């Protein structure tokens, strides 16, 4: 018995876009794996387009994943891009489906 699944073209396109985004780091061929990227406060503030003082507040309130390395010439707080991406996903507010709004 053969089962067939029919999906709306919009859904297929959306799924394809998500798959492409997931595969981009693996197919880029630049030798860097996005999982290994580490930000300092300055580079994270640029990445998130927020001020460094906002980053400091998030750190102080333990609201953003971070780790500390020994103080020295390059010491301080660092952020794993992989963890930041997870944090962004956890704090993303989903769009509202107009068909589910009850009045």
Beta strands in the chain (DSSP E): 38-39, 67-69, 76-80
DSSP per residue, 56-96: HHHHHTT-S--EEE-SSTT-EEEEEHHHHHHHHHHTPPPPP
User: Using DSSP, how many helices (H) and how many strands (E) does the chain show?
Assistant: 4, 3
Q: Counting beta carbons within 10 angstroms of the beta carbon of residue 79, is it exposed (0 to 12), middle (13 to 18) or buried (19 or more)? A: buried
Torsion over CA: 29, 24, 32, 40 (sign)? positive
> Is the pTM value of this prediction over 0.85?
no
- 15-54, pLDDT tens digit by residue? 888 888 877 766 655 545 556 899 999 999 999 999 999 9
- 62-103, pLDDT tens digit by residue? 999 999 987 665 669 999 999 999 999 999 998 887 776 666
Confidence label for 6 from pLDDT (cuts 50, 70 and 90)? confident
């Amino acid at each position: 018995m053969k089962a067939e699944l029919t999906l709306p073209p919009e859904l297929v396109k959306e799924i394809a876009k998500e798959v492409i985004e997931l595969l981009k780091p693996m197919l880029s061929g630049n030798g860097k794996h996005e999982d290994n990227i580490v930000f300092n406060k300055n580079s994270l503030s640029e990445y998130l387009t927020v001020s460094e003082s906002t980053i400091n507040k998030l750190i102080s309130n333990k609201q953003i994943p971070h780790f500390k390395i020994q103080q020295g010439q390059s010491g301080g707080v660092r952020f794993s891009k992989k963890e930041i991406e997870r944090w962004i996903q956890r704090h993303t507010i989903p769009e509202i489906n107009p068909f589910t709004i009850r009045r």
